Amino acid sequence: MGRIIGGSGGSVKEAIVDNDGQLLVSAKSHAVEEWYSEEKGFGFIIHARCHTAAASSGSLLMIQNDETTKRIHITREYIDPMTLTPTDLIITQVKNPTTITGGTDISTSTSVGIIQKNFTSGVVLNATIKQSDGSSDMTFTGGKQYHAFPVSSRTPIQRNMNGTNILGKNDVLMFGWETEGGGNATNAEIISLSINIYIDEHS
């Protein structure tokens, strides 16, 4: 009896030659992000409890890809507003802002920031992560906005990005916010962001 195990991409294939000389083949499929996390240790969560400011717009979270040979794929976004006043805000996603001011660098934080999905993996993500918090509000100018969607007070939402938001070397993804009516938000209200990502080796 012989056994062959192999696979690539999002599948694991197994073939067995039984005692009668027959070849039996089976395959197990994984979601792409599951495969990258389980098989390679390339899955991560970027998490921060971000603060609003007493302004009509601002920033929540910045992700910059510092990998030299890997791309960052955004797969899922978990956005959990606490109490908001006004009760509705617009969240924006912006590619490569022209300028970024302020924010707290949490790239090497031991409590928030970058979390390895596969706890047994030693793979490290090279990225710069900044958040708006009680120490430093973050703002930005320019860039290309490609998503804008509402969030309401104490109403969590999930967004499936299917791994199609891809950050190459030095690319920046900014999560911003705006008030709907142009008035000011309330300072230091909290929006929790958990961004699921994986990295690949094709950059």
Residue 79 in tokens:
């956005």
* Residue (of 93, 131, 123, 117) closest to 45 by Cα position: 117
Mean of pLDDT over the chain: 88
Residue 184: pLDDT over 90: yes
103 three-state secondary structure: coil
Residue 202: pLDDT over 90: no
* The pLDDT of residue 194: 98
**Average confidence (pLDDT) over 19-33:** 67
> From CA 99, how far away is CA 110, in angstroms rounded?
27
Interval 106-152: pLDDT, tens: 999 998 999 998 888 889 999 999 999 999 999 999 999 999 999 99
The reported pTM is 0.83
The CATH 2.60.120.380 portion of the chain extends over 43-200
> From CA 133, how far away is CA 197, in angstroms rounded?
22
Residue 130 in tokens:
């900044």
Residue 166 in tokens:
């891809």
- Assess contact for 58 and 50: CB atoms under 8 A: no
**Domain covering 43-200 in this structure, CATH number:** 2.60.120.380
- Assess contact for 132 and 59: CB atoms under 8 A: yes
* The pLDDT of residue 121: 87
Band of residue 18 on the pLDDT scale cut at 50, 70, 90: confident
39 vs 89, residue with greater confidence = 89
Band of residue 19 on the pLDDT scale cut at 50, 70, 90: confident
Q: At residue 174, what is the residue type?
A: M
% of the chain surpassing 70 pLDDT: 84
